Structure 1
Amino acid sequence: MIKTDVSNIHRTNKTYWDENGNDFLESIVLPYYGCNTLTENELNLFGDVAGKKFLDIGCGNGESLKYHGNNKAAELWGIDISQNQLEKAAKCLSESGYAAKLICGAMEDEHKLPTDYFDYVYSIYAIGWTTDLQGTFNRVASYLKKDGIFIFSWSHPIHMCVAFEEDKAFFKNTYFDETWSQRDLDGKNILLCSRKISTYVNALAKAGFVIEQLVEQTNDETLQLTGELSDWTKKSQMVPLTAIFKARKL
């Protein structure tokens, strides 16, 4: 268990993203919401985005912003804790002919972003890095217009506490543990905590959102696979790996 030292958490995780980046994680940029889950092409959570204003929380290398640019979004904004990632995003978007306003900093901090301004705020596999979930959701709500949409995906908490070995799934830790801990990602240390589904639901409600959709399904292609499968694939056929929320600001 790690004491919630916000500055240490930010420093550790920022170092990881500065040094490693997410170029190899193709499954966490739109149209993908995460590994082995349904895609935006299937879910159509955003709908017609032409002429809309977007803010990407944890925008990474900019591929998700480019996705919306390709669908004729009017404005592209992004926040990321890693300057290295923002440089990749700027390059990605510039090469595609898109301008974007990119801000370096933690998603839970004040960045003097416009309020009641965006049609969509979204986060693809980044929201779980926040050290202040309620504060982050409150800020997201302030950025959005009335009836604006907030869409985010993150590791499903069941996935984070279930392991799979020899064709059997078992709990490796309690679902209710929301303390911060050190984890290994590609041989590097990061600091994360798992949060219950109810934690996300209650924080969204307190911030003034109504949930319109919660997606937990593994994609059909994975569910239909048979034969010699990896433990990862077998696990995704038994428990959800990703949770996707769509909420509307009241």
Structure 2
Amino acid sequence: MSYRGSEFYDNESNFEKYMLRRQWQENANDTLEKPVISQLLGDISDQHILDLGCGDAGYGAELLDKGCSTYVGIEGSRNMFEAASSSLAAYSNGTVVHTMIEDYTYPPDAYDLVLSRLAIHYLQDIEHVFRCIHQTLKPSGRVIFSVEHPVITSTLQPSGTRTNWVVDHYFNEGYREQQWLGGTVHKYHRTVEAYFRAMQKAGFIVEQLRESKPVRENFTNDETYERRLRIPLFLFLVGRKNA
């Protein structure tokens, strides 16, 4: 059975497998993606944050602990929404909304920062979403997001430990299917240029572009570190709304 984006996690088996995968000490999210996101965020004290595709909102709880003023997570999966609600239960200034990223009603000039971690590659119409993000940011507000790197999404392969990577059909953008955790998930492949131009078209000044170069201190296993040096798994972009 195939699933659209966050719907994948409403299959109980997929959800359980994913949560177990995230507990692996050297999972790619925590060793490669999260460190770069944290660097890009910098000091988030007193900021109003919107998190698109927040998952279980564990990171949202961390941001609240670090002093952000308010945190709103958007999550389309019912299972993830319930996990996120539990993560934020102790925070009066943290909340989660159960809706798809495309369907959220984005209030104008409401947030200092819009964050999205590994969710935008599930979306078909990113130009619409980027326009919504632009309007919901305050003047000088930032958007920071990560996606699977286009060299990965160009030719998706089944999950598991790879020994080689094929990059093919790179400029044929659009719909892809991936066999992952025993199910089929829908994603959309775009080039690096396409993400960059979509941000500019929405009105953003693109301030940074990063890739997931591994840092040795984030790994306990030499073999895993050396393997992560072979190809970038994630792409990161930072945009700012004009003052």
TM-score range normalised by the length of the shorter chain? 0.7 to 0.9
Over the residues paired in the alignment, what is the CA RMSD in angstroms? Answer: 3.0
1:83 to 78, 81, 93: 78
CA contact (8 A) 2:48 2:112 kept: yes
| Structure 1 residues 1-250: aligned runs within 5 Å | 12-19=4-11, 20-21=14-15, 22-24=18-20, 26=22, 34=29, 36-37=31-32, 39-40=34-35, 44-94=39-89, 96-109=90-103, 111-161=104-154, 169=164, 171-221=166-216, 229=223, 234-250=226-242
Q: CA deviation at 1:170?
A: 5.3
- Residue identity opposite 1:72 in structure 2: G
Indicate how the Cα distance of structure 1 residues 82 and 183 shifts in structure 2: closer, same or farther if over 3 A, else same. Answer: same
CA contact (8 A) 2:176 2:189 kept: no
Count of equivalent residues: 230
Equivalent residue, structure 2, for 1:5: none
Q: 2:137 & 2:75 partners in 1: Cα distance?
A: 18
Q: 1:58 & 1:176 partners in 2: Cα distance?
A: 26
Q: 2:136 & 2:80 partners in 1: Cα distance?
A: 22
Q: 2:175 & 2:227 partners in 1: Cα distance?
A: 24
Q: 1:46 & 1:226 partners in 2: Cα distance?
A: 27
Query: Could you say what secondary structure the match of 1:34 adopts?
Result: helix
Indicate how the Cα distance of structure 1 residues 74 and 218 shifts in structure 2: closer, same or farther if over 3 A, else same. Answer: same
CA contact (8 A) 1:50 1:72 kept: yes
CA contact (8 A) 1:33 1:124 kept: no
Q: CA deviation at 1:116?
A: 0.7
TM-score normalised to the size of structure 1? 0.80
Which runs of structure 1 show a deviation greater than 6 angstroms over 4 or more consecutive aligned residues? 222-227
Unaligned stretches of 5+ in structure 2?
A: none
Q: 2:37 & 2:10 partners in 1: Cα distance?
A: 32
Q: CA deviation at 1:115?
A: 1.0
Q: 2:218 & 2:59 partners in 1: Cα distance?
A: 26
Q: 2:83 & 2:163 partners in 1: Cα distance?
A: 41
Identity of aligned residues (%): 24
TM-score normalised to the size of structure 2? 0.82
Q: 2:179 & 2:79 partners in 1: Cα distance?
A: 21
